[in-house]
Structure 1
Amino acid sequence: MQRLTVVVPAYNESAVLAAFHARLSKVLDALPLSCDVLYVDDGSRDDTWAIIQSLAGADARAGGLKLSRNFGKEAALTAGLDHVDADAAVVIDADLQDPPELIAQLVEQWQSGYDVVYATRSARAGETGLKRFTAAAFYRAMEVMSDVAVPRDTGDFRLLSRRALAALSQLRERQRFMKGLFAWIGYRQTSVKYLRDPRLAGKTKWNYWRLTQFAIEGITSFSSAPLKLATWTGLAASVVAFLFGLKVLLKALFHGDPVHGYPSLMVVILFLGGIQLLALGVIGEYLGRNYNESKQRPLYFIEEEQAPVSRTSFHTQATPRR
Structure 2
Amino acid sequence: MEELAIVVPVYNEQEMIELFVREVNKKTENLEIKKIFYFVNDGSSDQTLPLLKKLARQNDNINYISFSRNFGKEAALLAGLQATKESLITVMDVDLQDPPELLVPMYHKLKEGYDAVGARRISRKGEALIVSLFSNLFYKIINKVSTTPIVEGARDFRLMTRQVVDSILELRESNRFSKGLFSWVGYEVIYLEYENHERSAGQTSWSFRQLLSYSIDGIINFSETPLNIATFVGFISFLASVLLSIFYLLKTLIFGDPVQGFPTLIVLILLLGGLQLLSLGIIGKYIAKIFLETKRRPNYIIKESNIKELD
**TM-score of the aligned structures, taking structure 1 as reference length:** 0.93
Q: Distance in 2 between matches of 1:83 and 1:99?
A: 23
Partner of 1:254: 254
Matched-pair contact (CA < 8 Å) for 2:248–2:258: no
1:91-130 CA-partner distances (Å, limit 9, x unpaired):
0001111111111111111111111211000112211221
1:261 to partner: Cα distance? 4.2
1:282-293 alignment runs, 5 A limit: 282-293=282-293
Superposed counterparts of 1:160-171, under 5 Å: 160-171=160-171
Match of residue 151 from structure 2: 151
Check conservation: 2:39, 2:65, Cα contact below 8 A.
Answer: yes
SS of the equivalent of 1:119 reads strand
Aligned positions, number: 311
**AA at the equivalent of 1:210:** Q
Deviation at 1:257, TM superposition (A): 4.8
**What does residue range 263-278 of structure 1 map to in structure 2 within 5 Å?**
263-278=263-278
1:57 maps to: 57
Query: Contact 1:42/1:69 (CA < 8 Å) preserved in 2?
Result: yes
SS in 1 for 2:159: strand
Q: What letter corresponds to residue 10 of structure 1 in structure 2?
A: V
User: Percent identity among equivalent residues?
Assistant: 39
Structure 1 residue 258: deviation in Å? 4.7
Alpha carbons 1:28, 1:35 under 8 Å: kept: no
Aligned to 1:87: 87
Where does residue 102 of structure 1 map in the other structure?
A: 102
RMSD: 1.6
Q: After the TM superposition, which of the residue ranges 26-35 and 286-295 deviates more from structure 2?
A: 26-35
Distance 1:249 1:30 in 2: 82
Superposition deviation, residue 255 in structure 1: 2.8
Structure 2 unaligned runs (5+)? none
CA distance in structure 1 between the partners assigned to 2:164 and 2:85 by the alignment: 12
Secondary structure of the structure 2 residue equivalent to 1:123: coil
Q: Deviations over 1:142-172 (max 9, x none)?
A: 1111121111111211111110011111111
Residue 295 (1) aligns with residue 295 (2) = yes
CA distance in 1, matches of 2:213, 2:118: 23
Unmatched 5+ stretches in structure 1: 308-312
Query: Larger RCO: Structure 1 or Structure 2 (Cα < 8 Å, ≥ 6 residues apart)?
Result: 1
Which runs of structure 1 show a deviation greater than 6 angstroms over 4 or more consecutive aligned residues?
A: none
Deviates more, 1:25-34 or 1:87-96: 25-34
1:310 aligns with: none
> How much does 1:248 deviate?
0.9
Q: Is the 8 A contact 1:118 1:190 kept in 2?
A: yes
Aligned counterparts of 1:290 and 1:197: Cα–Cα separation in 2: 37
For 1:11, the equivalent position in structure 2 comes to 11
CA drift of 1:259 comes to 6.6
8 Å CA contact retained: 1:12, 1:47: yes
> Residues 4-59 of structure 1, C-alpha deviation per residue, up to 9 Å, x if partnerless?
11000001111211211110121343211122111100111111111112222333
Q: Is the 8 A contact 2:38 2:65 kept in 1?
A: yes
Indicate conservation of the 8 Å contact 1:95/1:199, yes or no.
yes
Q: Which moved more, 1:76-85 or 1:144-153?
A: 144-153
From the superposition, tell whether residues 144 and 259 of structure 1 become closer, same or farther in structure 2 (CA, over 3 Å): closer
1:121 alignment counterpart: 121
| Separation in 1, partners of 2:139, 2:133 | 10
- Tell me if 1:280 matches 2:271: no
Mapped partners of 2:252, 2:136: distance in 1: 51
The letter for the 2-side match of 1:157 is: F
Equivalent pair of 2:4/2:86 in contact (CA under 8 Å) = yes
Q: Does structure 1 residue 224 correspond to structure 2 residue 207?
A: no
Q: Distance in 2 between matches of 1:38 and 1:79?
A: 9
Taking the aligned partners of 2:81 and 2:58, their CA distance within structure 1 comes to: 23
Does the CA-based 8 Å contact 2:28-2:100 persist in structure 1?
Answer: no
